[in-house]
Amino acid sequence: MSQAHLTSLVIDSSTPTRTIAVRVREGKAGDTAPGLVWLGGFMSDMRGTKAVALDDWAREQGRACLRFDYSGHGESSGDFKDGTIGRWLEESLAVYRQFCRGPQILVGSSMGGWIALLLAARLRALNATAPDSVAPLAGMVLIAPAVDFTEALMWAQFTPEIKREIEEKGVWIRPSDYDEGGYPITRGLIEDGRQHLMLGGMIEPGCPVHILQGVQDPDVPWRHALDLMARFSRDDVVLTLVKDGDHRLSRPEDIERLLAAVAEF
């Protein structure tokens, strides 16, 4: 069974300490295969179907596996409404630096796909100034990656009335098929997201990438994955379109595709 940790992260002196729930599975002694790092989606947690399946596979293969919940998600502390892309990226980097040793494969689902690419850029910058200071990336598997979703898939699609509510009240509750209470979309989330947009330029993750995308995805259209793929400048990228796949890609056959993609690395 993976070991559970509650880790207090001090991101910087200007922000309060956050308690982040982390589950770590150690790899088999002497095994040099890359470890796995799960990066979940918007309002999801590390106990979801895909995350648990990944951890089970890691156990069977003797591979290391790291899962955690962003602040405001799952078992971690914090209010979801305080969350932003930048905040969750900072937490991802802090967890990665504290727990990852040796080459790693980032597995990012939906928003986690965006976080994965941002994290890769941070890791590359750290290794440029201090070589071998952080664990290198061996590959990346992105599931319906929602890169730039706060702007391209939310703000650009919102009606003037919704935009006005967000600007004036600071939050709008977006109806969701996954949560009857809806998702709070805050002004902070939208404004911070603009500081992390990636689709306006070229992307260099520094490792091979495999994207899994459902054609029937109502949340992240498959053409969004094509736009993302066109932004990769030099690294090897494979895109697998699942004709009858939805956004979650959590069916048994989808899990098989996920694990096969991870096994490639």
Residue pLDDT, tens place only, 62-72: 999 999 999 99
Question: In a 3-state reduction of DSSP, which class is residue 245?
Answer: coil
Whole-prediction pTM: 0.95
Q: Is residue 168 part of a domain?
A: no
Q: Is 197 helix (H, G, I), strand (E, B) or coil?
A: coil
The torsion angle over the Cα atoms of residues 5, 11, 14 and 15, rounded to 10 degrees, is -40
In a domain, 160, yes or no: no
- Tokens coding 253: 């056959």
Name the catalytic one among 71, 110, 196, 210. Answer: 110
SS3 46: coil
Residue 116's domain spans which residues?
3-147+201-263
Identity of residue 47: R
pLDDT above 80 (res 224): yes
pLDDT of residue 11: 73
Q: Residue 181 above 80 pLDDT?
A: yes
pLDDT the model gives residue 172: 97
Task: Check if 217 is active-site.
Answer: yes
Q: Write out pLDDT tens, residues 30-60.
A: 788 999 999 999 999 999 999 999 999 999 9
Active site residue 247: yes
Angle between helix 252-263 and helix 49-61 axes, rounded to 10 deg: 50
Of these residues, 73, 196, 224, 247, which one is catalytic? 247
Q: What is the mean pLDDT of residues 198-222?
A: 96
Q: Is residue 90 part of a domain?
A: yes
Number of independent structural domains in the chain = 1
Q: Is 153 part of a structural domain of the chain?
A: no
The owner of tokens 């689902």 is: 109
Candidates 55, 69, 192, 217; catalytic one: 217
- Which of helix, strand or coil describes residue 219? coil
Query: Is 110 annotated as catalytic?
Result: yes
Q: What is the CATH number of the domain that holds 258?
A: 3.40.50.1820
What is the mean pLDDT of the segment spanning 140-149? 98
DSSP-derived pairing of the beta strands 183-186 and 171-174: antiparallel
Query: Quick check: is 152 in a domain?
Result: no
